[in-house]
């Protein structure tokens, strides 16, 4: 046993000895190379040697459906001169002088020398055996075409020593237009369409041999039969419309400057398809206004009053209300579980219609309705389910990275900090969060008669003009609510513009519908403080009778000239709609469908009648009119192309003014007040014998009609 043990130990010692010798050999050579022969090998390392380098492919173009170029990879060139290539017969004073004269306009900033000095530097470098010289980096294609035709260079690389290395730079011909939507690829960071469609746009990189010249410390491409040419990327065709995008961006920027706001977003979507025609984001930076973040998809916020549309739809879906039902607005002040809620404007209204409450954007009115019908323990979940049925809890899935997920509380969920006041505050757009695009998608579905379309930005991927992929409109949900519900909320949105919070924005040329919104950013349950900040919004569609486009405008922290949606975001929406109406032929009524616009002289003026009769006549004649809440007797006045309905008050003790009334209405009122009536003529009352306001004592009154 001991003999075998000794034999094993001998073998181990032998192996260990060999390892020590081998380690010593490695250590000796390391010292030799780095210390004893270090200078020698460092000099060898500085000599020219070849390397394989990746050649980046040209990214595909981003274009619009009508062919406008939004982003493109433009070629640029680094120009080198192989001084060893020109023969002595080509290297003449005449050719050299002409070459230097032609190059100087391009290289004078780089070499900072006279023509003669530059010429001498070329001669000295050639005589010294230097092979490569960098002439100019980042030469444009036009300059490249000029330079390669110069004497000597025109003979090409082999005979003239002209070397041009092509590379590409991404350029946006329209500057900041849709900058964040188009996106960029920078330092391995990709955003916007550039990031989402990177696989299609980037193409396939190539490979090329380059020589590193130690003396000049430059890499120069050389001819190599084994080089692989890069393959250019494919093009993508976007839904963006350059004209609409320009309109939106300018209107938003003007609004931001006027109100000195922090940031703003505006989006225009095609109602029936979901195509995004414009998406603009403007923010304040230390260097001015810039599109540095896509708030349209990436920033979810409490929307405020624009969310009231969802609350009204839930109530209508369940059949709890009709638009002309009454609601007590408590003069704009109400308490929910010891938390006080106020209406944004002082109106002193008690009982009014639900329609009116929505049009004036009453927080109290909407919140009371939601609390009344869904406030019980078993009902709050029903309201939340309606919000989910409207897909307000889902992303829209647009082709851009970074879309924020909406936040809708679950009823009675402690993790969501559900409390007794959650339901009323959610009903008016607090304690919920959505992005502008998600809110617009909801309103767009209403404009589209309940059919919700997926917003999208790209229609095709193309290669040399041929379609490789085609993306068509996608229906997210065929019906988000009953047709009756959709029709009624459309009436509400039109009423907001006709007689509600947006009445100052209405146009005489066309009708649009929408909702104003004003949300306090740093609020605590409407605690009124001096430092409260606001977010103003307006979302709607146009034309109201046959919607083509939907649009949302959101402006954060306006510091001057207003803070409410009707003052800040609404005018921007109106500017966008006006410009689109001028530019887009499809917005005009078609042929015989075009409505006749009546002038002030052609409209009823100071006509008086019973309110229901007036409504019926105006509706049958399809005349544009506004309403100031008249219940019984109404007087009509005309302003440009719009009729205004104002109240005509009747007192029990005083003779009324019946001028403008028909004989039937005048007789009904006067005789019920105890007056004895005589009349002459036919038509409307043009004169009465007793002046309006005279104390009634059973007198006779004579009326003249014409």
- HEC string of 93-115? HHHHHHHHHHHHHHHHHHHCCCH
Question: Residue 606 has what DSSP assignment?
Answer: S
Half-sphere exposure of 432 (CA within 13 A, CB side): 32
d(CA 126, CA 113): 18
- Residues of the chain scoring pLDDT < 50: 45-48, 525-526, 591-603, 605-606, 640
* Residues paired with residue 463 on neighbouring β-strands, in sequence order: 466
Question: Residue 543 has what DSSP assignment?
Answer: S
The structure tokens listed for 296 are: 């349209």
CB 222 within 8 A of CB 246: no
3-state helix, strand, coil in the chain (%, to 5): 35, 25, 35
CB 666 within 8 A of CB 689: no
d(CA 284, CA 290): 7
CB 572 within 8 A of CB 280: no
In sequence order, what are the residues at sequence separation of 6 or more whose Cβ sits closer than 8 angstroms to the Cβ of residue 539? 306, 439, 440, 443, 514, 515, 517, 550, 551, 552, 553
The rounded radius of gyration (Å) of the Cα atoms in the chain is: 39
Q: What is the pLDDT of residue 606?
A: 47
The DSSP-derived string for 180-214 is HHH-EEETTEEEHHHHHTHHHHH-B-EEEEEEEET
The structure tokens listed for 40 are: 């020698």
Q: What is the pLDDT of residue 553?
A: 98
CB 700 within 8 A of CB 688: no
- CB-CB neighbours of 571 under 10 Å: 22
- CB-CB neighbours of 584 under 10 Å: 15
Q: What is the pLDDT of residue 544?
A: 95
Q: What is the pLDDT of residue 595?
A: 47
CB 581 within 8 A of CB 542: yes
* Unique residue bearing structure tokens 């009709």: 322
| Class of residue 187 by CB neighbours under 10 A (exposed 0-12, middle 13-18, buried 19+) | exposed
* Residues paired with residue 574 on neighbouring β-strands, in sequence order: none
CB 151 within 8 A of CB 98: yes
Nearest in space to 386 (alpha carbons), one of 513, 473, 518, 489: 489
In sequence order, what are the residues at sequence separation of 6 or more whose Cβ sits closer than 8 angstroms to the Cβ of residue 182? 62, 70, 71, 172, 192, 193, 194
Helix H or strand E encompassing 247: helix 242-259
Q: What is the pLDDT of residue 538?
A: 98
Nearest in space to 477 (alpha carbons), one of 544, 406, 397: 397
Q: What is the pLDDT of residue 644?
A: 60
d(CA 253, CA 289): 8
Q: What is the pLDDT of residue 132?
A: 86
Nearest in space to 156 (alpha carbons), one of 76, 86, 95: 86
- HEC string of 369-408? HHHHHHCCCCCHHHHHHHHHHCCCCCCCCCCCCCCCCCEC
Separation in Å, CA 368 to CA 185, 360, 425: 50, 15, 10
Model pTM greater than 0.75?
A: no
Nearest in space to 428 (alpha carbons), one of 494, 489, 530, 341: 341
Backbone angles phi, psi at 658, to 5 degrees: -110, 10
Q: What is the pLDDT of residue 634?
A: 66
Instruction: Tell me how far the alpha carbon of residue 14 is from its chain's centroid.
Output: 78
Can you tell me whether residue 309 is helix, strand or coil? helix
The structure tokens listed for 350 are: 């008690």
Helices (H), 556-646: 569-583, 611-621
Can you tell me whether residue 694 is helix, strand or coil? coil
Q: What is the pLDDT of residue 112?
A: 82
Q: What is the pLDDT of residue 594?
A: 45
The structure tokens listed for 379 are: 């009902």
The DSSP-derived string for 107-162 is HHHHH---HHHHHHHHHHHHHTT--EEEEEEEEEHHHHHHHTTSTTGGGHHHHH-E
The structure tokens listed for 317 are: 């879906």
In sequence order, what are the residues at sequence separation of 6 or more whose Cβ sits closer than 8 angstroms to the Cβ of residue 235? 60, 61, 62, 63, 461, 462, 463
Separation in Å, CA 463 to CA 205, 466, 601: 17, 5, 60
Q: What is the pLDDT of residue 579?
A: 93
Separation in Å, CA 270 to CA 167, 511, 521, 586, 650: 38, 17, 30, 12, 49
Nearest in space to 677 (alpha carbons), one of 706, 669, 650: 669
Nearest in space to 47 (alpha carbons), one of 144, 155, 131, 112: 131
The structure tokens listed for 593 are: 């469908």
CB 333 within 8 A of CB 342: yes
For helices 483-498 and 308-317, the axis angle rounded to 10 degrees is 140
| Pairing outcome for strands 276-285 and 162-171 | unpaired
N residues, the chain? 706
């Amino acid at each position: 046993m001991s003999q075998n043990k000794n034999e094993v130990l001998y073998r181990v010692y032998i192996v260990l000895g060999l390892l020590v010798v081998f380690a010593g050999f490695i250590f000796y050579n390391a010292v030799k190379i780095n210390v004893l022969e270090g200078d020698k090998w460092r000099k060898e390392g500085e000599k020219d040697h070849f390397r394989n380098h990746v050649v980046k492919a040209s990214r595909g173009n981003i274009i619009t459906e009508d062919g406008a170029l939004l982003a493109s990879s433009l070629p640029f060139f680094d120009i080198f001169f192989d001084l060893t290539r020109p023969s002595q017969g080509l290297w003449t004073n005449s050719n050299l002088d002409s070459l230097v004269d032609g190059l100087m306009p391009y290289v004078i900033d780089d070499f900072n020398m006279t023509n003669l000095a530059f010429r001498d530097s070329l001669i000295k470098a050639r005589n010294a055996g230097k092979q490569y010289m960098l002439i100019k980096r980042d030469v444009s294609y036009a300059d490249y075409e000029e330079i390669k035709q110069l004497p000597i260079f025109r003979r090409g690389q082999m005979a003239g020593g002209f070397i041009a290395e092509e590379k590409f730079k991404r350029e946006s011909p329209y500057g900041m237009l849709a900058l964040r939507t188009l996106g960029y690829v920078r330092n391995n960071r990709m955003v916007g369409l550039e990031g989402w469609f990177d696989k299609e746009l980037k193409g396939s990189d190539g490979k090329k041999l380059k020589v590193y010249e130690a003396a000049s410390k430059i890499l120069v491409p050389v001819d190599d039969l084994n080089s692989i040419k890069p393959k250019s990327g494919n093009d993508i065709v976007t839904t963006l419309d350059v004209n609409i995008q320009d309109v939106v961006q300018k209107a938003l920027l003007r609004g931001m400057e006027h109100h000195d706001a922090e940031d703003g977003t505006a989006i225009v979507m095609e109602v029936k398809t979901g195509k995004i025609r414009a998406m603009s984001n403007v923010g304040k930076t230390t260097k001015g206004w810039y599109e540095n973040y896509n708030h349209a998809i990436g920033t979810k916020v409490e929307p405020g009053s624009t969310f009231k549309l969802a609350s009204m739809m839930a109530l209508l879906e369940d059949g709890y209300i009709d638009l002309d039902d009454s609601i007590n607005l408590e003069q704009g002040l109400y308490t929910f579980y010891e938390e006080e809620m106020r209406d944004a404007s002082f109106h002193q209204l008690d009982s009014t219609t639900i329609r009116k409450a929505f049009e004036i954007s009453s927080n109290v009115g909407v919140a009371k309705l939601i609390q009344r019908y869904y406030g019980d323990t078993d009902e709050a979940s029903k309201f939340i389910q309606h919000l989910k049925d409207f897909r307000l809890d889902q992303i829209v899935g647009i082709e851009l990275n970074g879309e924020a997920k909406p936040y809708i509380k679950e009823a009675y969920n402690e993790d969501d900090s559900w409390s007794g006041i959650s339901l009323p505050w959610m009903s008016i757009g607090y304690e919920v969060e959505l992005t502008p695009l998600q809110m617009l998608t909801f309103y767009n579905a209403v404009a589209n008669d309940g059919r919700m379309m997926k917003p999208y930005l790209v229609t095709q991927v193309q290669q040399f003009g041929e379609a490789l992929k085609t993306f068509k409109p996608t229906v997210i949900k065929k019906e988000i609510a009953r047709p009756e519900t959709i029709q009624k909320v459309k009436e509400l949105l039109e009423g907001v513009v006709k007689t509600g919070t947006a009445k100052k924005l209405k146009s005489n040329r066309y009708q649009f519908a929408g909702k104003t919104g004003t949300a306090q950013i740093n609020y605590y349950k409407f605690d009124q403080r001096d430092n409260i900040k606001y977010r103003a919004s307006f979302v709607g569609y146009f034309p109201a009778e046959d919607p083509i486009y939907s649009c949302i405008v959101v402006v954060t922290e306006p510091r001057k000239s207003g803070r409410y949606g009707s003052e800040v975001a609404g005018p921007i929406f109106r500017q966008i709609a006006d410009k689109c109406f001028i530019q887009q032929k499809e917005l005009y009524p078609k042929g015989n469908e075009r409505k006749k616009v009546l002038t002030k002289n052609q409209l009823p003026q100071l006509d008086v009648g019973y309110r229901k009769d007036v409504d019926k006549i105006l509706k049958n004649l399809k005349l544009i009119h506004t309403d100031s809440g008249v219940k019984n007797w109404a007087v009509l006045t005309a302003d440009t192309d719009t009729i205004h309905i104002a109240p005509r008050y009747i007192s029990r003790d005083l003779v009324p003014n019946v001028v403008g009334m028909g004989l039937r209405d005048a007789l009904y009122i006067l005789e019920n007040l105890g007056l004895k009536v005589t009349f002459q003529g036919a038509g409307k009352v043009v004169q009465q014998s007793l002046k309006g306001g005279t104390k009634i004592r059973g007198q006779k009154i004579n009326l003249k009609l014409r």
